[in-house]
Amino acid sequence: MEVMPQDTVLSESQHSTQKITLGYSQLGSESDWRKANTNSVKESAKEAGITLLFENAEQSQEKQFEAIRSFIKQKVDVIAIAPVVQSGWEPILQEVKQAGIPVIIADRSVNVTDSSLYVTFIGSDFYDEGRKAGKYLLDKMKGRPGPIGIVELQGTMDSSPTIERKNGFREIIDSRADLKILKTRSANFTLEQGKKVMQSIIEELGEDIDVLFSHNDDMALGAIEAMEEAGLRPGIDIVIISVDGTRKSFEMMVQGKINAVVECNPLLGMNLMQVVKEIMGGKNLPKRIVLPESIFTQSIAEREINNRKY
């Protein structure tokens, strides 16, 4: 466990000198996005004067349960969870509720029947990210005759970004019958799996692939390697739409190898620490706090690349 002690803490409650301890269960370190997210949480806790107990679950829900039980034993003030998958959280959240510790769900959502098990969610609108990707594709393919073959690289199965990006994307592209999803495969949000899975799909489908929708940048970068090794021109032979907005994806857009990137901002640390302080101060919070995000295309990538912080 990583412990980040602080000398002073400013609470929003009546007790202005009260120290706040936050237990944070991070789902893993599977991508550049996740690493930036972790750094944002750690740096923001330090800046906010909050003591952070940080646990990396390495993509294991069971390890997240262990971390949360450890936080309960240590009597932290608030627990924040970035859940690896969407389901299976109700029992452990009941344990936290019985201990009287407020919970924040960060980045990814959970599927529970009792919404009182957590105070608020803070993160991205994954469904809207999928819709943005779909709208870009409709605009890009306007006037191009079909059928248009689409490959979709999904993230971790049963995770909220995978489920919601998939559903949002389909809601939009279903308006055009000749847009056909030929293959949907999970590559677990990693570059290595993105390359491996894309190699297999290229061998199977070959020139039938017109579009790649990748649920994150790391998988898209791996898929680009697979395309180039197969003699294909990413961004030309195959239109590529990705999600995240990492600096590496912007470099690929500048080179013409990725056509569009839907932003998913990992830098939620300061917002999270503000929410922690507001909870400790007894403030009422909305059930869902969504960060504003954009979509970027090749035409603006070069102008925006130096603004990327991750």
Cβ atoms within 10 Å of 226's Cβ, excluding its own: 20
Domain 126-264 architecture: 3-Layer(aba) Sandwich (3.40)
- C-alpha of 26 from chain center: 12
3-state secondary structure of 292: coil
Domain boundaries, given as residue ranges, for the chain: 2-123+267-291, 126-264
Q: Is 126-264 in the same CATH topology as 2-123+267-291? A: yes
| Radius of gyration, alpha carbons of the chain | 21
Torsion-angle region of residue 235: left (phi > 0), alpha (psi -120 to 50) or beta? left
- C-alpha of 93 from chain center: 21
Query: What string of pLDDT tens digits covers the 310 residues of the chain?
Result: 544 433 323 334 333 447 999 999 999 998 889 999 999 999 999 999 999 999 999 999 999 999 999 999 999 999 999 999 999 999 999 999 999 999 999 999 999 999 999 999 999 999 999 999 999 999 999 999 989 999 999 999 999 999 999 999 999 999 999 999 999 999 999 999 999 999 999 999 999 999 999 999 999 999 999 999 999 999 999 999 999 999 999 999 999 999 999 999 999 999 999 999 999 999 999 999 999 999 999 999 999 999 888 9
Domain 2-123+267-291 architecture: 3-Layer(aba) Sandwich (3.40)
- Per-residue b/e over 142-157, b at no fewer than 16 CB within 10 Å? eeeeeebbbbbbbbbe
CA distances from 68 to 20, 27, 180 (A): 17, 12, 43
Report how far residue 305's alpha carbon sits from residue 289's, in angstroms, rounded to the nearest whole number: 27
Report how far residue 208's alpha carbon sits from residue 204's, in angstroms, rounded to the nearest whole number: 9
Give the residue from 160, 132, 113 showing the smallest Cα distance to 260: 132
